[in-house]
Amino acid sequence: MASMKFTLSFIILLCLALGLCPLASADVYRYKDKDGVWHFTNVQKDTRYTLFIRSKDKKPSQYIEEYEGIITQATRRFNVDPLLIKAVIKAESDFDQRAISPKGAQGLMQLMPPTADAMEVSNPFNPEENIFGGTRYLSLLLKRFRQDKTLAIAAYNAGPEVVETYGGVPPFPETESFVAKVLDFHKQYASSAK
């Protein structure tokens, strides 16, 4: 039996080396069980599995579809426009759940660790936790700024206290650029939804 496994593996490797078998391109998910054993799959079976290798063939629009159900649930729970959440995710991480910013923001909605803790997100790289946490946070900012999207988006980037201190979008190039990008993506998503 062991020689059969070896032979099959050798044949597959030989075919790949000679270009006779095309390599499939797909996301690969993994999780480590309680015994320290890694499990891999190309289908995210449950929330224990996190993205390990992202397919280069997928376009951001395919990730929008992949996360559509989570976005719908989160936006219904927290009463936020789903197109706004998609726009924030696009601007923050381009739908890369493993994204980490130079400042330490993590996951799809680029949650800083203190924000993730406050929103009860234990694994910021888990799409469901990250989207629910980021949506909850944005809903609180929308309430704080009386449903003013521009101010809420600026606060998502720079912090609500900074927006209040400046009485509007703070004059930081990064924040101004972020607000413009999110509003532009929101407009694009809204026009394509019609």
Catalytically annotated residues: 92
Cβ-based neighbour number of residue 66 at 10 Å: 15
- Residue 128 CA to residue 80 CA, distance in Å, equals 16
* Of 54, 12, 10, nearest in space to 29 by CA: 54
SS3 163: helix
- Residue 76 CA to residue 166 CA, distance in Å, equals 31
Q: Structure tokens of 115?
A: 């924000």
Cβ-based neighbour number of residue 14 at 10 Å: 11
